[in-house]
Amino acid sequence: MATTESDSLDVEAIRADFPILEREFGDQQLVYLDNAATTQKPEQVIDAISDYYRETNANVHRGLHQLSQEASIAYETAHDRVAEFIGASGREEIVFTKNTTESMNLVAYAWGLNELGPGDEVVLTEMEHHASLVTWQQIAKRTGADVNYIRIDEDGRLDMDHAAELINENTEMVSVVHASNVLATINPVGELADLAHDNDAYIFVDGAQSVPNRPVDVEAIDADFFAFSGHKLCGPTGIGVLYGKQQILEEMQPYLYGGDMITKVTYEDSTWNELPWKFEAGTPAIAQGIALAEAVDYIDEIGMEKIQRHENELAQYALEQFEKFDDIEVFGPPAGEHRGGLVSFNVEGVHAHDLSEILNDYAVAIRAGDHCTQPLHDKLGVAATARASFYIYNTKSEIDTLVEALDDARQLFA
- Per annotation, catalytic residue among 46, 147, 372, 383: 372
C-alpha dihedral (230, 71, 225, 143), degrees to nearest 10 = 100
300-346 pLDDT per residue, tens? 999 999 999 999 999 999 999 999 999 999 999 987 768 999 999 99
223-257 pLDDT per residue, tens? 999 999 999 999 999 999 999 999 999 999 998 99
CATH architecture of 47-300: 3-Layer(aba) Sandwich (3.40)
The span from the CA of 308 to the CA of 302, in Å, is 11
Clarify whether 372 is annotated catalytic.
yes
Share of the chain above pLDDT 70, in %: 98
Judged against a pLDDT cut of 70, whether residue 2 lies above it is answered with no
Q: Confidence class of residue 25 from pLDDT cuts 50, 70 and 90? A: very high
What is the pLDDT of the chain when averaged over all its residues? 95
139-160 pLDDT per residue, tens? 999 999 999 999 999 999 999 9
CATH architecture of 11-32+304-412: Alpha-Beta Complex (3.90)
The pTM is what? 0.96
Q: Mean pLDDT throughout 45-65?
A: 96
pLDDT at 408: 87
Q: Where are the beta strands (DSSP E) in 117-267?
A: 121-125, 146-150, 171-177, 202-206, 225-229, 240-244, 262-265
Share of the chain above pLDDT 90, in %: 94
Q: Mean pLDDT throughout 353-360?
A: 94
**Domain residue extents for the chain:** 11-32+304-412, 47-300
φ, ψ of residue 331 in degrees (nearest 5): -110, 145
Q: Which residues contact 341 (CB under 8 A, 6 or more apart)?
A: 35, 184, 213, 308, 310, 311, 312, 314, 315, 389, 390, 391
Q: Classify 321 as helix, strand or coil.
A: helix
Question: Is the separation of the CB atoms in 353 and 400 below 8 Å?
Answer: no
Q: Which residues contact 211 (CB under 8 A, 6 or more apart)?
A: 86, 228, 232, 233
